[in-house]
Amino acid sequence: MTRLTVYSDSDPSTVEHSTTDRAVIEAHLALAGILFEQWEAEQPIADTADSGAVLTAYAGAVATLKQARGFRSADVVRVPKGMPGTEPLRAKFLSEHTHEEDEARFFVEGSGAFYLHLDDKVYRIVCEAGDLLSVPAGIKHWFDMGPEPHFAAIRFFTRSDGWVAAFTGDVIADRFPKYDGPKYDGPK
């Protein structure tokens, strides 16, 4: 379930705010200049769809975001459930960093958690299928795909060399609760 949790950056043991209300999440993040949207596929898409089929299924939304935010390209990254060797991949994104360009991710399937370090707060946004998150350039953040990752996401780029991080050297991410993966909340 998509969830926003807000902590003080000095006290990860105390939750200051938590919500699953998508409208509240969108409004709360917008105050910090962060875009959060929900997208639906324009056509049916199989769980095993290749990158081309995924991009085609969301072609209108992808084109709109690229034009609005100046992204030059988009691709699809897929980490299937049970993929071996994911621990080093997870570790790569668990350190606080920034980018010179906006970082936008749309979750086609699965889930992951973005942690945004804004002033004296840390916002944890657990994103799931249908969620788009666009983090403006320069915002300190990290990403946790969980101990048993499973997701497919459309990534957007303005740079031809793709994802380039500037690590802050701050160990703040080590103090905050890790993302354990999706939880079953009972029948929907």
Q: For position 43, what pLDDT does the model report?
A: 87
Beta strands in 20-150 (DSSP E): 35-38, 73-79, 97-98, 103-118, 121-128, 131-135, 140-144
Q: For position 116, what pLDDT does the model report?
A: 98
Contact 98, 165 (CB under 8 A): yes
SS3 87: helix
Q: For position 9, what pLDDT does the model report?
A: 96
CA distances from 31 to 35, 53, 119 (A): 9, 34, 13
Q: For position 183, what pLDDT does the model report?
A: 63
Beta-bridge partner residues of 13:
none
In order of their start, the domains of the chain are 3-175 (2.60.120.10)
pLDDT 10s digit of each residue in the chain, 188 long?
899 999 999 999 999 999 999 999 999 999 999 999 999 999 888 888 899 999 999 999 999 999 999 999 999 999 999 999 999 989 989 999 999 999 999 999 999 999 999 999 999 999 999 999 999 999 999 999 999 999 999 999 987 777 788 999 999 999 999 999 876 443 33
* 182 φ, ψ (degrees, to nearest 5): -65, 150
Please give the DSSP secondary-structure letter assigned to residue 111. Answer: E
SS3 18: strand
Q: For position 186, what pLDDT does the model report?
A: 35
Whole-model pTM: value is 0.92
